[in-house]
Amino acid sequence: MAEYQTMRSQGMAGSAAEIDQGLRAHMNKVYGTMSIGLLITFAAAWAVGANPAILQYLFSFETGGPTILGWIAMFAPLGMIFAFGAVITKASAAAAQTFFYAFAAVMGISIAYIFAVYTGASIVQAFLVTSIAFAGLSTWGYVTKRDISGWGAFLIMGLIGGIVLMLLSFALSAFWGIVIPGFDLALSALLLLVFAGLTAYHTQAIKQDYVDHAQHGDSEWLAKSAIMGALNLYMSFINMFLIILSFLGNRE
């Protein structure tokens, strides 16, 4: 952001105006790609989750847990995220965007259970609450003059710590039958704060990356950067939504 402000102070009005216009187009591309990804995700989740004949292959109605195919579907998005870096590096922007949409569809299948577990009204309510919170956080990350780039390391550490604690809680419950009262609720609240912070952090990072590279004229890099930014914001939205749904949702 210092570079952007310096350009303005040096009277480079024309160049700054071009960057302003390009930045708006870039952010529209990020939010547009993310929105299409969310639409694909919820369409896929509804198509599977609202159809018991299909859902039974992923979710056992007898045990209340995922089937073997369901476990594969749950972990498939994680594998695709790891592969995303290679796709962004080696493939074209168009191919990377297609891969993102395919990832969004697989993510939808992995969370299809929500349509069997929660009422439709609860899902809509959680989506609206998440949308409002996400819009506020992302807007703040975009307009704030405060440099929050230093948040990244702490937020990633918090995310990793939360995942480790989540796996530990799952292991204690699944293998030893140990349930710590209030632990999952506190952990969900912690992760919600982490993803809220990541929403603002990634928004500012997307903006700063564009400002840093706009003058290079690398349209292919900027297109890939928009897709990567869309993925980061998409992940924050989906995880915030699932946590908020767990707090507010009424079960079927």
Specify the range with the lowest mean pLDDT, choosing from 41-45, 123-127, 138-142, 245-249: 245-249
pLDDT of residue 13: 47
- pLDDT of 38 > 80? The answer is yes
Q: Specify the pLDDT at position 67.
A: 87
Domain-wise residue ranges, the chain: 2-248
Residue 249 DSSP class: P
Return d(Cα 229, Cα 193) in angstroms, integer. 20
Give the pLDDT score at 250.
74
| Contacting residues for 93 by C-beta, under 8 A, at least 6 apart | 220, 223, 224, 227
Mean pLDDT of 163-168: 86
Quote the CA–CA distance of 35 and 74 in Å, as a whole number.
22
| pLDDT tier for residue 97 given thresholds of 50, 70 and 90 | very high
What distance in Å separates the CA atoms of residue 221 and residue 216, rounded to the nearest whole number? 10
User: What mean pLDDT do residues 158-167 have?
Assistant: 89
Segment 62-78, tens digit of pLDDT: 776 788 998 899 899 99
Could you tell me where the beta strands, DSSP code E, fall in the chain?
A: none
Question: Pick from 214, 237, 231, 241: which is nearest to 30 by CA?
Answer: 231
Confidence of residue 1 (pLDDT cuts 50, 70, 90): low
The mean-pLDDT minimum among 5-9, 42-46, 232-236 falls in: 5-9
pTM: 0.88
Question: Is 146 in contact with 205 (CB distance < 8 Å)?
Answer: no
